[in-house]
């Protein structure tokens, strides 16, 4: 079984996220998603619209996703790759080169981002019309 692993915040799920998950799943048999915890987001000076548990529930409902686990630090990726026996790390190409150090553990593939969609733009829209 070929295992694929990816990471992200996956806040305000949109078709760009679905495209990434679909492409990642197509590369193997089992897709693992490291989902940024609320605490990790705080360390990155980010705040998600939805909580970790809400985002996890959404991701688990997507047919391409087989397993979701918390991402708590940048440094945990090598351990995760080994723990879950991942064969391929898939990340958006906005991260190109940032995870090349993980090539000693698995294949690293950067996929193109979906044009004209971003969580940042979704958040800006929501803040203007639907305050939480």
Residues with a known catalytic role: 44, 46
Pure H helices in the chain: 15-26, 38-43, 52-60, 77-83, 119-129
Distance CA 79, CA 69 (A): 13
Instruction: State the DSSP code for 103.
Output: G
């Amino acid at each position: 079984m070929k295992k694929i692993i990816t990471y992200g915040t996956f806040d305000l799920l949109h078709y760009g996220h679905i495209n990434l998950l679909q492409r990642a799943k197509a590369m193997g048999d089992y897709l693992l998603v490291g989902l940024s915890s609320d605490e990790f987001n705080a360390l990155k000076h980010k705040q998600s619209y939805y909580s970790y548990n809400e985002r996890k529930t959404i991701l688990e409902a997507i047919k391409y996703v087989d397993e979701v686990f918390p991402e708590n630090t940048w440094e945990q990726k090598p351990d995760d790759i080994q723990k879950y026996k991942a064969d391929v790390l898939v990340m958006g190409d906005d991260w190109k080169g940032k995870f090349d150090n993980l090539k000693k553990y698995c294949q690293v593939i950067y996929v193109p981002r979906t044009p004209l969609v971003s969580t940042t733009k979704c958040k800006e829209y929501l803040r203007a019309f639907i305050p939480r």
